[in-house]
Structure 1
């Protein structure tokens, strides 16, 4: 069996690609390589080898003209916010512990129940609105439970006092490829071709062709020329709405209707090269200030010194959350560079006059939106996909799931095992639990891709994975 990869972009990696200009390399959104999944870690180590660096995490929150360490450092937070406001935060926290919201349907309810209304107002509401462009009341609690996980105010304070930290989203150290996250995928693509596979760049998938419950191939276009490619098995990372629309013949109407309800948040990054060394040491700074539009600021040297071609300069990424067609998305590159440089100065980080070069990267569908419609819609689509005998959908947009990259990768790894008959239900791969044998589909004989596997064979496949 020979793998054939179709990539719509000019380089591999998707949102984890590494773009470059004049020797400077840019991470699209900041990608920390950290996982508790042994098989994902093993793949990273195998592909990257000595190019896999260990990097310290340093990040802060900018709010009301001050910088707050993140994770929380107690005395830094108290000094910044003041004793009076700190007492109000603790009283608010106590109130919500005694009288919590009985329903936890929204992001707002979930956070207030764990942090109190006062801290939510300071550190969650404005940034969440900036990232998603909608009220936190309209975002499902699923997103908070997935991304913030087991953190609460009491745990944050204890971590700050004791130095402990068992919250996965607040790791202190991580791995990072020497030349950015795209290096992982560039080396993977080279490995695929070395082993007899093919990787086609600048090639879009227009239609997914099926006959009943079997996918027979795809229609792809390269440099204006369209052709059909047959396939024994297809693994897709297309966004779910795009994927559903691509099927020929189309899925049932209720599946199409579900796909049309899915929403996405787009993203762009303005990279600025400064004529002096780094203006701050952080990997990135979360900007909670509503007076500027930038949401997060990266310092690429803090990820890896080799992201810069000239070490006497600084390379800074100004991240903006937007929607395709809005004023930010449609702004010219020159105006975006001017906006980013101006906000860098407004925040007191560097003078706009020190910017000597810029590069704009626009990323559509960067974040699947967890609104009130998404869960029912995704469940409807997943139920239909499960009826297909030789088709899998994987990754963040392929499952409309805002996972960390290790779980997105894990879904793809399990999909590859399904090609050889493993029978994993990919919808059970998520950020809350590892992928265990208990999560195998119960009807393994029915869905096994070879049609001849027994339970013993399924166990053998799992143990050798």
Structure 2
């Protein structure tokens, strides 16, 4: 049984069927669409992402699954993204002359001097995101391009975000590499790829196809089925209780369970309840929520980028998507533009509780303030609120996660995968990789899902797994 129909849950079901054809997974999805945060919404024929999802990976098994499921429905998309800051647009990745022109020779010199100072005398400890970035980029560059945007995204000071988040998300980027890339045209970092693959109808197209394959192979997918309780007897999970589409409660028994529900929510669903220290740890896990206001404009392409990072403190929008730049087929009318205004917030705060009409007006006004399009050109809008979009790496998360992982490890037939299932701010391919390995565990292999990453050192082990004696189901 699989809890959650996002990339991790669907991949677990798909891979389990491939490895063990006799398995008949049941996927329980609380929403109306498959794909989780990688789903594709549709409003009046216009399709859009929940945050934008590039398809690029170094994991061959993940790449093979993408190709197997979608084949020619992938298109190659050139990457173009910029940073809006101080009323100017900075190319990202860095382009030397563009950066010098925008920020000015005097401030550019200060950035270089600050970089050299911190290279010569780095801080001895790197406890926080702030420490990690300053040690690698210098204080001036941190102040310009990391501090305000990070606060906007996470809602807390960068000094309260743990350094391992930075090490995970921007580990391959350095000022030296960025300057070298700018001068030579090289690209030595995985995060700064020049093009990527994308399903022509958005990422939801992939997950809709995976769902079709799972059901065609004998599996079952239940939509609008929210898991309310996870029942256990000692060290084994025996069943889940769910609320179905018609509001009725139902109990489903199972032999093996794979979870992609957020850990903070999952622990509270387990009965009998876990020990008090595990419940307390789950309560310390925090999430950042997200909403997107998609604006339909009466003209095409106000900017050419796939997306823009908005570092400007005078507006609340954090990132802006141009969905035609991802795929022209995302739009119903080629003479219009579909622009995703993304806001990072907390459920229950002023942004989250604002009416859809007020959010449309706010997003249109900010689009105009940034000089991208006049507010009066907005002819339609659609709002999506996404709870628990990003696991937060605050000072409490690591010890809380260790406590939860240790206890979940005592369960004999339960695995947890994916971004929220592992409380790890990962990419789609990492979520899929954890799910693939969970399926391999069902087939008798032994993989510690808490240690999975997409670095070469792990991939070598992934490609040549150690043999193991299968466990009884």
TM-score when normalising by structure 2: 0.93
Cα deviation, residue 400, structure 1:
0.3
Q: Secondary structure at the match of 1:244?
A: helix
**Mapped partners of 2:467, 2:346: distance in 1:** 42
Change (3 A) 1:10 1:25: same
Contact 1:423/1:440 (<8 A) preserved: no
Cα deviation, residue 116, structure 1:
0.3
Specify which of 461, 464, 468 is matched with residue 437 of structure 1.
461
Specify which of 304, 307, 321 is matched with residue 284 of structure 1.
307
Specify which of 159, 176, 184 is matched with residue 137 of structure 1.
159
In the other structure, the counterpart of 2:351 is 328
Cα deviation, residue 217, structure 1:
1.5
In the other structure, the counterpart of 1:11 is 33
Cα deviation, residue 437, structure 1:
3.0
- Can you list the C-alpha shifts for 1:403-450, whole angstroms capped at 9, x where unaligned? 1110011101111111222121111112444444389999955xx433
Query: Are 1:174 and 2:196 an aligned pair?
Result: yes
Contact 1:341/1:352 (<8 A) preserved: yes
**Mapped partners of 1:318, 1:104: distance in 2:** 33
Change (3 A) 1:81 1:109: same
Query: Are 1:228 and 2:228 an aligned pair?
Result: no
Higher relative contact order (CA 8 A, sep 6+): 2
Contact 1:390/1:449 (<8 A) preserved: no
- Can you list the C-alpha shifts for 1:244-284, whole angstroms capped at 9, x where unaligned? 11111111111111111100000000000000011001010
Query: Are 1:385 and 2:402 an aligned pair?
Result: no
Specify which of 203, 206, 216 is matched with residue 238 of structure 2.
216
In the other structure, the counterpart of 1:461 is none
In the other structure, the counterpart of 1:123 is 145
Contact 2:445/2:465 (<8 A) preserved: no
RMSD: 1.5
Specify which of 299, 302, 308 is matched with residue 322 of structure 2.
299
- Can you list the C-alpha shifts for 1:87-136, whole angstroms capped at 9, x where unaligned? 00001111111111100010000000000000000000000000000000
Q: Secondary structure at the match of 2:284?
A: coil
Query: Are 1:271 and 2:257 an aligned pair?
Result: no
In the other structure, the counterpart of 1:376 is 399
Query: Are 1:396 and 2:422 an aligned pair?
Result: no
- Can you list the C-alpha shifts for 1:138-159, whole angstroms capped at 9, x where unaligned? 0000111100012111111011
Contact 1:425/1:441 (<8 A) preserved: no
Cα deviation, residue 286, structure 1:
0.1
Specify which of 421, 424, 428 is matched with residue 405 of structure 1.
428
TM-score when normalising by structure 1: 0.94
Alignment of 1:54-69 (within 5 A): 54-69=76-91
In the other structure, the counterpart of 2:128 is 106
In the other structure, the counterpart of 1:159 is 181
**Mapped partners of 2:463, 2:419: distance in 1:** 20
Structure 1 unmatched runs, 5+ = 452-465
- For these two proteins, the number of residue pairs brought into alignment is 449
**Mapped partners of 1:421, 1:150: distance in 2:** 34
**Mapped partners of 2:399, 2:438: distance in 1:** 23
Contact 2:177/2:188 (<8 A) preserved: no
**Mapped partners of 1:233, 1:325: distance in 2:** 36
Alignment of 1:445-456 (within 5 A): 445=469, 448-450=470-472
Instruction: List 4+ stretches of structure 1 deviating above 4 A.
Output: 438-445
**Mapped partners of 2:98, 2:331: distance in 1:** 31
**Mapped partners of 2:300, 2:310: distance in 1:** 21
Structure 2 unmatched runs, 5+ = 1-22
Contact 1:389/1:449 (<8 A) preserved: no
Cα deviation, residue 290, structure 1:
0.2
Contact 1:429/1:435 (<8 A) preserved: no
